[in-house]
Amino acid sequence: MSTPETRKQDVEHPGQDDSQRDEQEGHARSARPQDRTTILMARQLEKTVGSGSSAITILKALDLEIHAGESVAIVGSSGSGKSTLLALLAGLDTLTHGELALFGEPLSSLDEDGRARLRAGQVGFVFQNFQLLPTLTALENVLLPLELSESSVDARQAQQWLARVGLEARVQHLPKQLSGGEQQRVAIARAFVTRPALVFADEPTGNLDRATGDRIADLLFTLNRESGTTLVLVTHDPQLAARCDRTLILDEGRLHAHGDSTAASHHEPDGVDHR
Ligand SMILES: Nc1ncnc2c1ncn2[C@@H]1O[C@H](COP(=O)(O)OP(=O)(O)O)[C@@H](O)[C@H]1O
Ligand SMILES: [Mg+2]
């Protein structure tokens, strides 16, 4: 019945239009309706890591389509390949087989520099382990994508983003002087500072307490609603996943729509990812 392309609302309330669903669900959907422009298209993705007898195929014949303005949650047990998938989709890693297009551009036709140019200013990425540069302050880390993109660099923009994630008092601190949750928020500010059309975030609230996590989630969905930022989130947090337009489960190397009975039962929604 449902496919990975099926929106959550279509599964739960087939045959209704968005306004009827809005009333029933009691929340306002995007003021700017989602267009159906395909922003990301993946066909038959395969990823094998390691070599020889230790080689393992993490992703197999995986298909995915994401439209501009959507918010999509990817869930799955620890080790199911969520981080690997996110890096592949963002063009940060290379496929073993399959086709992937971002903003209509096939990544196979681009070398590493070409992929970096395509991402610059258009794609933001929040890494599970943050990947902040250790010798740069919080502010300098957030300024970096502005310096790498061709847009003019305005330190105030970076400062405003750090304030939006509640770190106005931490701008001059180095990553090692910040807690895990604070580093995560610097990573979020860095991902959004160029106002990208598409943001990938790997467990963006994984190191935050409930209140801070809710505040960051509010920020993510405000940007999704007001700026049309497309969100692809890996998460173990059922509350965060429930706020997305649809949830996909990664299991046995493939994505299944949440609620799809063909999905295998290995999914552990509350599993803790120690990676
Ligand atoms: N470069 C690599 N070499 C070998 N194994 C890897 C590599 N990258 C990931 N893996 C393995 O692939 C599996 C999926 O990893 P990962 O994508 O981090 O999963 P998740 O994010 O869902 O926890 C894990 O078993 C991990 O150990
Ligand atoms: Mg992971």
CA distance 71 to 230: 6
| Tokens 């990947």 belong to residue | 131
Query: Is residue 60 predicted with pLDDT exceeding 50?
Result: yes
List the domain boundaries for the chain: 8-122+196-257
Answer yes or no: is the C-beta of 249 below 6 A from any ligand 1 atom. no
Which distant-in-sequence residues (6+ apart) come within 8 Å of 107 by Cβ?
91, 95, 100, 101, 115, 118
Distance of CA 5 to the CA centre of its chain: 17
Q: What average pLDDT does this structure show over 20-32?
A: 43
Answer yes or no: is the C-beta of 49 below 6 A from any ligand 1 atom. yes
Minimum mean pLDDT range among 11-25, 102-116, 156-170, 232-246: 11-25
Report the predicted TM-score, pTM, of the whole model to 2 decimal places. 0.83
> Which of the four pLDDT bands, split at 50, 70 and 90, describes residue 135?
very high
Contact between 238 and 46 (Cβ < 8 Å): no
Residue 126 Cα to ligand 2 midpoint, Å, equals: 12
Q: How is domain 8-122+196-257 classified at the CATH fold level? A: Rossmann fold (3.40.50)
Ligand nearest to the CA of 126: 2
Atom 13 of ligand 1: nearest residue by CA position: 79
Q: What is the pLDDT of residues 144-159, one digit of tens each?
A: 998 887 777 788 999 9
pLDDT given for residue 264 in this prediction: 44
Structure-model confidence comparison of residues 244 and 5, the more confident one:
244
What's at 204, amino acid-wise? P
Answer yes or no: is the C-beta of 235 below 6 A from any ligand 1 atom. no
Residue 225 Cα to ligand 1 midpoint, Å, equals: 32
Residue 81 Cα to ligand 1 midpoint, Å, equals: 6
Ligand nearest to the CA of 57: 1
Structure-model confidence comparison of residues 113 and 32, the more confident one:
113
CA distance 52 to 65: 32
Residue 44 Cα to ligand 1 midpoint, Å, equals: 19
- Our CA angle for 181, 182, 188, nearest 5°, is 90
pLDDT given for residue 260 in this prediction: 65
- Our CA angle for 65, 67, 68, nearest 5°, is 150
Query: Is residue 205 predicted with pLDDT exceeding 50?
Result: yes
Atom number, ligand 1, closest to the C-alpha of residue 87: 17
